[in-house]
Amino acid sequence: MATSSSSSGTIRKLQVVSPVPADIDIASSVEPYHISAIAHELGLQPHHYELYGKCKAKVLLSVAEELQHSPDGFYVVVGGITPTPLGEGKSTTTVGLCQALGAHLGQKVVTCLRQPSQGPTFGIKGGAAGGGYSQVIPMDEFNLHLTGDIHAITAANNLLAAAIDTRIFHETTQSDNALFNRLCPINKEGKRTFAKIMMKRLEKLGIHKDDPKDLTPEEVNKFARLDIDPESITWRRVMDVNDRFLRKITIGQGPDEKGMVRQTSFDISVASEIMAVLALTTSLADMRERLGKMVIGNSRAGDPVTANIAHGNSSILADKIALKLVGQEGFVVTEAGFGADIGTEKFMNIKCRYSGLTPQCAVLVATVRALKMHGGGPSVVAGKPLDRAYVTENIALVEAGCINLAKHIENTKMYGVNVVVAINMFATDTHAEVTAVRNAALEAGAFEAVVCTHHAHGGAGAVDLGIAVQKACKNHNRSLQFLYKLDFSIKEKIGLIAKSYGAAGVEYSEQAEKQIEVYTRQGFSGLPICMAKTQYSFSHDASLKGAPTGFILPIRDVRASVGAGFIYPLIGTMSTMPGLPTRPCFFDIDVDLTTGKVLGLS
């Protein structure tokens, strides 16, 4: 959670130069305030947070309890149109908007951003700390480690994966009594006891006994054996690096594993259900409950096997604490990842459903570059120079591409929020082009559409956006509208989301049909839907630009994150482990041997 305050005590006048230097050079040129000074401006005392060096701290959950009766501020989400592979500046706009609200418009504001994955940082997009004169500093720490949460999630996820395979191994090679003796060994007093965590399992099994010696042989069998079906295991190992060669692997080939070989795969760490749980939890007790509900597969009898241990959006807890800290007239700005068709949709239908929070304004980031692409412009490829069409005026191409912008405005307005379009202006954009975008946005029903130059000018370049957001929040008078009800069937919910994309229908693979049947039978059909599809098109096909219609959305597989609280269909060829490009970003990342500073981050 990065913060920005309106007090003159923590604002330094930004000295901008042109042309805009590299992001890392700008970040290195500014001396950050000690994080305790930022905390003080928010009304936090030293006992409210834990320091991680001079520039970072974790806010303790006790703050949420202390402030639970304080009024909330305005809640703003930043999404974007369907982007090019280069990204259109959602994070930069989020930061620029907050700079404008805090430093230029005198408002108390907190920015809530997700910790970046090292996958894109070292892969195609580079860092996710914003850019130019609208970025989070220290950007190297923010992009590479922060406070280590993703690493902790990785370790916890893989510990569970190891526990699953180890349990299958031991159940295959040992009798019921041997398993029971090892699970409940005799202590020094000559007695057997259940560990506290085992009582939860006994409760799930309907065994109401607290002394191991009282279990019947049948109960010993039920308690000692999870009887996991290896073919049903959905829990995957993770790592926070893009590695396409781990998309399908074989484990258990060592001689000591006695032939316990099976195929599995790795996901990127931020795709772990534990990450989703962390993002969607509302308290420590709620997090523990959600972790215990995580389903890792099925037993051979077809019953779900849970973890049984004491999750595109930033965390609910961060947003809730921030809304209390800024107070009734303050602003909390958060970002929804990907294009708004999947990022803002998940924010509204999943995150807001669980948090109970209602955003008053949704900012939709648009660029002339992306709209030209949607209007029929040449392909935009990361690492290759932009075609001339993107750096010379072509109003017709822009106007044709505004169909994508209009569709995003239409979809976002359905949730009952005011939509403000932020036109992130690049140096090669012309006045006529951005005027065409503004006109199209207003015609499509946007509350306001403004031109922003925060990348080049910092908060000063987003003042008009800040004013528009203030007006949108204060003029909001509608309740949050969800796209579907939770008691709809899995297919009904998927169908409604597909319809919002412009699809004429949905096609399910045999595997998807099977999983939907299983999850429905197991009682999970009441969960919301988290679509896993390309962000580069409303459809499943990244080559279909603009606002395509009439396509059939193919569902390859359906998985469940029961602990986090959603069902996620895999659409088309969507992968949960990205691959590295031919020329990854890490080619440019190095360390200054004199200063020890990281170089080359962008």
Joined together, the tokens standing for residue 108 give: 């108390």
Best CA proximity match to 258, nearest among 165, 153, 150: 165
Measured CA to CA in angstroms, residue 404 lies from 93, 378, 408, 501, 502 at distances of 19, 16, 6, 11, 11
Both 216 and 101 in one domain: the answer is no
Residue type, 589: I
Residues 406, 412: Cα–Cα separation, whole Å: 10
Whether 601 is in a domain gets the answer no
Q: What is the mean pLDDT of residues 87-113?
A: 95
Whether 274 is in a domain gets the answer yes
Whether 203 is in a domain gets the answer yes
Both 268 and 176 in one domain: the answer is yes
Residue carrying structure tokens 């109960």: 219
Both 463 and 408 in one domain: the answer is yes
The residue from 272, 306, 340 where one domain ends is 306
Both 495 and 463 in one domain: the answer is no
Nearest-10 Cα torsion for 385, 387, 389, 390: -30
Both 288 and 334 in one domain: the answer is no
DSSP assigned state of 104: I
CA 49 to centroid of chain Cα atoms: 24
Q: Give pLDDT, residue 4.
A: 47
Whether 188 is in a domain gets the answer yes
Whether 42 is in a domain gets the answer no
Measured CA to CA in angstroms, residue 552 lies from 102, 376, 541, 573 at distances of 45, 22, 10, 14
Whether 91 is in a domain gets the answer yes
Residues 567, 560: Cα–Cα separation, whole Å: 4
Per-residue pLDDT of 399-447, as tens digits, reads: 999 999 999 999 999 999 999 999 999 999 999 999 999 999 999 999 9
DSSP assigned state of 299: B
The length of the chain, given as a count of residues: 602
**Residues whose CB is less than 8 angstroms from the CB of residue 553 and which lie 6 or more positions away in sequence, other chains included:** 498, 501, 503, 505, 506, 507, 539, 540, 571
Q: Give pLDDT, residue 595.
A: 72
Both 464 and 334 in one domain: the answer is yes
The phi-psi region of residue 324 (left if phi > 0; otherwise alpha if psi is between -120 and 50; otherwise beta) is alpha
CB 77 within 8 A of CB 343: no
Joined together, the tokens standing for residue 399 give: 């106007």
Q: Give pLDDT, residue 7.
A: 44
CA 157 to centroid of chain Cα atoms: 17
Q: What is the mean pLDDT of residues 213-237?
A: 93
Highest mean pLDDT among 5-14, 284-293, 305-314, 464-473: 464-473
Per-residue pLDDT of 530-577, as tens digits, reads: 999 999 999 999 999 999 999 999 999 999 999 999 999 999 887 777
Both 298 and 431 in one domain: the answer is no
DSSP assigned state of 186: B
Best CA proximity match to 109, nearest among 235, 253, 6: 6
Both 82 and 178 in one domain: the answer is no
Both 396 and 465 in one domain: the answer is yes
Residues 282, 288: Cα–Cα separation, whole Å: 11
pTM of full prediction above 0.85 = yes
Both 458 and 333 in one domain: the answer is yes
Best CA proximity match to 109, nearest among 243, 221, 10, 234: 10
**Residues whose CB is less than 8 angstroms from the CB of residue 108 and which lie 6 or more positions away in sequence, other chains included:** 5, 6, 73, 102, 325, 326, 327, 329, 330, 331
Whether 556 is in a domain gets the answer yes
The total domain count for the chain is 3
Residues 419, 213: Cα–Cα separation, whole Å: 64
Residues 193, 191: Cα–Cα separation, whole Å: 7
For residue 5, pLDDT beyond 50: no
Residue 534: which CATH number? 3.10.410.10
Per-residue pLDDT of 206-222, as tens digits, reads: 999 999 999 999 999 99
Q: What is the mean pLDDT of residues 15-40?
A: 89
Residue 164: which CATH number? 3.30.1510.10
DSSP assigned state of 456: H
| Least confident span in 12-26, 170-184, 314-328 | 12-26
Q: Give pLDDT, residue 168.
A: 92
Joined together, the tokens standing for residue 452 give: 């922003």
Place 341 in a pLDDT band, splitting at 50, 70 and 90: very high
Residue carrying structure tokens 């997700």: 114
Whether 29 is in a domain gets the answer no
H or E element in which residue 150 lies: helix 149-173
Joined together, the tokens standing for residue 485 give: 């009800």
Q: What is the end-to-end Cα distance of the chain in Å, rounded? A: 20
Both 225 and 293 in one domain: the answer is yes
* Structural domain that includes position 287: 149-306
Per-residue pLDDT of 112-153, as tens digits, reads: 998 877 766 666 656 678 899 999 988 888 888 788 888 999
What three-state secondary structure class fits 228? strand
**Residues whose CB is less than 8 angstroms from the CB of residue 358 and which lie 6 or more positions away in sequence, other chains included:** 75, 352, 479, 480
Both 291 and 337 in one domain: the answer is no
Residues 261, 252: Cα–Cα separation, whole Å: 5
